[in-house]
Amino acid sequence: MTTPEAAFATRVREGLRPLGVDTERIENRVNLGVSDMLVGAGDRFVTIELKAVSRGLKVALRPHQIAFLTRHAAAGRPCFVLIHQVSTVVRPGRIVLYHGRQAIELAEQGLRLEPLAAWPNRGMPWQELADILSGKTLIK
């Protein structure tokens, strides 16, 4: 059975591949907290923690994930949390991006926290995400 995060990882990979962005899904049960995806964007590597939220606003970041994101963001390494907020009857789906330095606040506030960027689930403009990951588009 495919998890929502695995399905989201496939969608991200397929959206970014035509743009020359390489993605590697990391399945790691040894080093807890290591992000789900290693991305080669332009001349740099970026890590992305993937999450799928199907109900409510809570983002289930585990302590090891928060520690990994916070440590690498503090050292100036590009790391992000990319969340697929699944569509419901009352709310259209969207994809939101947070920086690793927001990991603690994201765990506390969930999707109430202002993201770096947000896009509609349908018609996702993958080039905008690729530009952020490669550093072409500066983030706050």
Kindly report the backbone phi and psi dihedral angles of residue 109, in degrees, each rounded to the nearest multiple of 5, phi listed first.
Answer: -100, -20
Domain boundaries, the chain: 4-134
DSSP, collapsed to helix, strand or coil, labels residue 109 as helix
Q: The pTM is what? A: 0.93
The side-by-side arrangement of strands in the sheet containing 37-41 is: 22-25, 37-41, 44-53, 79-85, 94-99, 117-120
User: What is the CATH topology of the domain spanning 4-134?
Assistant: Trna Endonuclease; Chain: A, domain 1 (3.40.1350)
Query: What's the pLDDT tens digit per position in 12-66?
Result: 999 999 999 999 998 777 678 899 899 999 899 999 999 999 988 999 999 999 9
Cβ neighbourhood burial of 140 (10 Å; 0-12, 13-18, 19+): exposed
φ/ψ of residue 87, rounded to 5: -60, 145
Enter the tokens of residue 29: 């049960």
Instruction: Look at residue 3 and tell me whether its pLDDT is greater than 90.
Output: no
How far is 98 from 50, CA to CA, in rounded Å? 11
| The predicted structure's pLDDT at residue 101 | 96
| Rounded CA separation 126/119 (Å) | 9
